[in-house]
A = this chain, B = another copy of it.
Amino acid sequence: MKVAILGYGNIGRAAEQAIIAAPDMELAGIFHHNDRRVSGDEQAMRDNPIDADVVLLCTPTREVQKFATVLAARGICTVDSFDIHGQIWNLRNALDAVCETNRSVSIISAGWDPGTDSMVRALLKAMAPKGLTYTNFGPGRSMGHTVAAKAIPGVKNALSMTIPLGTGIHRRMVYVELEDGADFKTVEAALLADDYFAHDETHVIAVDSVDALNNVAHGVNLVRNGVSGDTHNQRFEFNMTINNPALTGQVMVSCARAAMRMKQRGEYGAKTMIELRPIDLLPGEKENIIKEIV
């Protein structure tokens, strides 16, 4: 199975390692907008043939749809980790028709949330249909909040940490490195008024170096208390403490395997992870996997 990578940031580099470690995959190339092999724009992508069964789209989330559409139209499978929860259904719909027409498979939102957490949430709901699930994130860096903090005037660099307080409530710890002459109180007020931060408990802390705090650790505590049949108080908990890009890259690579298998069976289309069979994520023969894992 030939797997290529588009985008060579944290996740692209992690995906590269996961492909190298996979017993059934060959790295078919790494494409990046600063790289000679391919330009990041659509036209260049159309003009350059890619000898790959699957391309992992390790680009910024907002570029996913453009590249996935171009590749699907050429019958090449894609995997992305598109992470804007409210837009997942629209992305799926837009890609689904292109995939069906061109006999390809796009697995979308294949990271840990959305992604593997989504599979756990679906499973827990099947186990106890009534009840509440809370997904508690962190401690770990929020990409969206970090970008929002960096956009505040007077901020040179920033890091927004997500701290879980339980029941899906989170505290934001925002570490800011100020530009020369910037006033902390002014920056703090602007940040606390920003829509990204206005609704959560937020603490702003000035530091000399944001880079000194750099750490890609993250975590999840996902809990459900629900009802199976008419039996209440069924309790479930899923925890993880992980290196964020390493897990995202690995999940994308496991999904590349599922995409190939679905294509081979003629199951074309765009799919989220809750539409995948867990066995398709794993290498090897069905008989061995069932004997080992079930």
Assembly of this chain: how many copies?
A: 2
CA distance A246 to B230 in the complex (A): 8
Segment touching B, from A40-48, A118-126, A203-211: A118-126
For A251, the closest partner residue in chain B by CB is B127
Cβ of A229 and Cβ of B21 under 8 Å apart? yes
Whether A279 is near chain B, meaning CB under 8 Å from some CB there, is yes
Question: Is the CB of A173 closer than 8 A to any CB of chain B?
Answer: no
How far is A22 from B116 in the complex, measured between Cα atoms in Å?
26
Q: How many residues of A contact B (CB 8 A)?
A: 68
CB distance from A184 to the nearest CB of B (A): 36
Instruction: Please pick, from B122, B254, B283, B290, the residue contacting A127 in the complex, using a CB distance under 8 A.
Output: B254
CA distance A278 to B279 in the complex (A): 12
Q: Do B228 and A123 touch (CB < 8 A)?
A: no
Whether B272 lies near A14 (C-beta < 8 A) is no
Which of the residues B109, B127, B238, B240 comes within 8 Å of A294, measured between beta carbons? B109
Q: Does A102 make an interface contact (CB < 8 A)?
A: no
A279: chain B residues within 8 A (beta carbon): 122, 272, 274-275
CB distance from A272 to the nearest CB of B (A): 5
**Alpha-carbon distance between A202 and B265 when the two chains are bound, in angstroms:** 49
Complex contact B290–A247 (CB within 8 A): no
Within 8 A of B (CB), among A19-59: 20-22
A263 located at the interface, meaning its Cβ lies under 8 Å from any Cβ of chain B in the complex? no
Q: Which of B123, B130, B293 contacts A21 (CB 8 A)?
A: B130
Q: Which residue of B lies closest to A15 (CB)?
A: B229
Per a CB cutoff under 8 Å, which of B237, B247, B287 touches A238? B237
Query: In whole angstroms, how far apart are the Cα atoms of A279 and B14 in the complex?
Result: 28
> For the complex, is A291 an interface residue (Cβ under 8 Å from B)?
yes
How far is B289's CA from A182's CA once the two chains are assembled, in angstroms? 47
Interface stretch (choices A73-81, A85-93, A144-152, A192-200): A85-93
- Listed from nearest, the 9 A-B pairs whose CB atoms lie closest are A17-B229, A231-B246, A126-B281, A228-B250, A122-B278, A18-B229, A126-B254, A17-B230, A228-B246
Instruction: Name 18 A/B residue pairs within 8 A (Cβ), A-sorted.
Output: A89-B287, A89-B291, A121-B293, A122-B281, A125-B281, A126-B254, A126-B282, A129-B282, A228-B243, A228-B246, A229-B250, A231-B247, A236-B238, A236-B242, A237-B238, A274-B293, A275-B279, A276-B277
